[in-house]
Structure 1
Amino acid sequence: MAVRLPPEQDPEARLRPDPPQVYRSGFGMRTFWTTATWLLTGAALVLGATLPFLTTGKAAILPVLLLAVPVALIDGIRRYGWATLLFFVVETLLISNFFENLSVETGFPFGDYHYTGGPQLIHVPIYIGPVYFGLGYLCWRVAELLLTDGRRRAVDVVAVPALAAALMTVFDLGSDSVASTVNHTWEWERGGGVFGVPYTNYLGWWLVTYLFFQVFAIQLSRRRATVQETSPAAAPVVYAALALNAVAYFMVADDDTVTDPSGVVWNHEALAETMMLINLFAVLPFALLALRSAARKPRR
């Protein structure tokens, strides 16, 4: 019967090759999810720049907004983890749906309006909630890129939500008149000065989005949640795609007129031109600044 000596006493042990080592670094899954993120981001960019030519402006931005949802889910889960992102999803859906329904019923905080399509959750179409989440997450990430460098500062608990809400509102400023006055996805019953949209809509958008961003910021600060590094450029690229959509929409707009529910007549081409300028000089610069910040951000 052969006796196996311990390795330190076996002179032949040094001559045997070491057994193969198996490393489970997770590199394959990281590559998979990064690739998926960029495929979705690329699709959003292409659709943002081409949809108005295919649909002549009718609901031309909704597919881009819906593509933001899987981008947000993938990046959010990787960055914050399931539990933290689920918290953001739930509180965003609850707060946005509550205030949307409240405004339809009472006029506060957005103004007097109603949705024309369905199916609806009380008075609000079901797809509106995912749009708040997807667009909200994009704006949160862009605000983070613009204001933070990875270190936790007390002022960021308020500054990032305030800027993220402003990014949401700037987007709405450059798109609501198309969705309501032209496409009649929802209608402002008394019209308004921004091509049929009242100024209260934008004040309400900032308030409501600030609330759910602020709740999320407090949760992150309270839990001191661990944040993982992900692809920082994806959110700014999708946000930029929204701006390109408005540019493409201006290129296909006709010179007809459109009448809002209050009876005011607006020129379609002038409306599209104004929306394009808002996106070119407000939405797009924020996206480009965030991309610059993402390019300079060290990978950890």
Structure 2
Amino acid sequence: MTITGTHPEQRAKTSTAEPDSRDRAITIAQWVLVFASLAAALLIPLAGLGSPILACLLLTVPFAVIHGTRRYGWRRFLTFFIVTFLVSNAYENLSIVTGFPFGHYHYTGGLKLFLVPITIPFTYFGLGYISWLTASTLLDRADERLNWHERTGRFNTFALPALAAALMTMFDVTIDAQASTVGHTWIWEHGGGVFGVPYTNYLGWWLCTYTFLQIFAVLLSRAANPSATVTPGSLLQPVLLYAATGLTTIPTFFTTSAGTTTDAAGVTWDLTAINETAMTVGIFTVVTAAFLAIAKIARGDTRTPR
């Protein structure tokens, strides 16, 4: 609708009111997802409702869509989603068939795309996004300084996806044995030394994640920097979501009953040992990395890149 008979200044105020209101609503939605994830991480085990991991991972997906399109724009963020979906699904199917790069395993259920449940690429997508931005914060907003024309930009283009892939792998170290050896969501056919999980799984996680994040970094390095206004809150939100995935291990340990479980290789593992190790690793990897990122934001180290 065209506004007529109005002073130019009034028209300007009218045109900006709606975007401002929309921005506030989007910000509130993002914070709701963050607090919901933190609440799920701590309260689901305490309420005796099982593992909170799935809830936390599901919440990263709508957050990534809302936050990512706001930060990078629809076109670049849609590219991120497509690259993540295709690369992760390809690696997972390749490993199920050949054993590379994760190892020999198979999924036990769920609607599948080829041999992989359709939900798995979405896990890579949501978790990959918050890992990417947590790593970016640790590297002083490196995602805004990716280019081939100066030394720091070239370094960031490779360092950021490498660190983000490591952060994402930290998460997998805390949950894979619980999901596979205990929960049997997927089965490691020959077992493994990490509570029934082979070490190759974690190398594969890093390689898979690094591949799609490196592609995204190269694409961003060829485009303009993100144009969205970056606030301490928008930096903090993905870090808190990442922290929530590590915090899940604490109440899970204190609320899980003792017992044993047997992997596909016939090795018996103690449930208390699995959960205690997951909690210890989670505190000193995922939670610690998130704490460092939060400290940088609180100190004001994540200043506007020049």
The answer, yes or no, to whether TM exceeds 0.5 is: yes
* Correspondence list, 1:84-99, <5 A: 84-99=76-91
Aligned to 2:67: 75
1:53-109 deviations in Å (ceiling 9; x for gaps): 345545x31111010011111110000000000000000000000010111111110
1:151-183 deviations in Å (ceiling 9; x for gaps): 442200000000000001110001100000111
Shift of 1:222: 1.2
Aligned to 1:168: 168
Aligned to 1:236: 239
Question: Which 4+ stretches in 1 moved above 6 angstroms?
Answer: none
Aligned to 1:267: 270
* Correspondence list, 1:132-281, <5 A: 132-149=124-141, 150-152=144-146, 153-230=153-230, 231-281=234-284
Equivalent residues of 1:56, 1:249 under 8 A apart: no
Aligned to 1:123: 115
Equivalent residues of 2:95, 2:103 under 8 A apart: yes
SS of residue matched to 2:191: coil
Equivalent residues of 2:145, 2:156 under 8 A apart: no
Equivalent residues of 2:44, 2:50 under 8 A apart: yes
More helix by share: 2
Q: Which moved more, 1:21-30 or 1:143-152?
A: 143-152
State, as a whole percentage, how many aligned pairs show the same letter: 47
Shift of 1:293: 2.3
Shift of 1:131: 0.7
SS of residue matched to 2:106: strand
Distance in 2 of aligned mates of 1:75 and 1:288: 21
Indicate whether 1:101 and 2:93 are aligned: yes
> Structure 2: which 5+ residue stretches go unaligned?
1-6, 147-152
Equivalent residues of 1:40, 1:67 under 8 A apart: yes
> Structure 1: which 5+ residue stretches go unaligned?
1-17
Aligned to 1:7: none
Indicate whether 1:64 and 2:53 are aligned: no
Distance 1:50 1:237, change over 3 A: same
Q: Under a length normalisation based on structure 1, what TM-score does the superposition of the two structures give? A: 0.90
Shift of 1:21: 1.1
Larger-Rg structure? 1
Q: Which moved more, 1:64-73 or 1:20-29?
A: 20-29
Q: Which moved more, 1:286-295 or 1:224-233?
A: 224-233
1:20-57 deviations in Å (ceiling 9; x for gaps): 71312221111110000000110001001122234554
Aligned with residue 51 of structure 1, among 30, 44, 51: 44
Tell me the C-alpha RMSD between the 2 structures: 1.8
Q: Under a length normalisation based on structure 2, what TM-score does the superposition of the two structures give? A: 0.88
SS of residue matched to 2:269: strand
Distance 1:265 1:80, change over 3 A: same
Equivalent residues of 1:50, 1:245 under 8 A apart: no
Shift of 1:255: 1.7
Distance 1:148 1:298, change over 3 A: closer
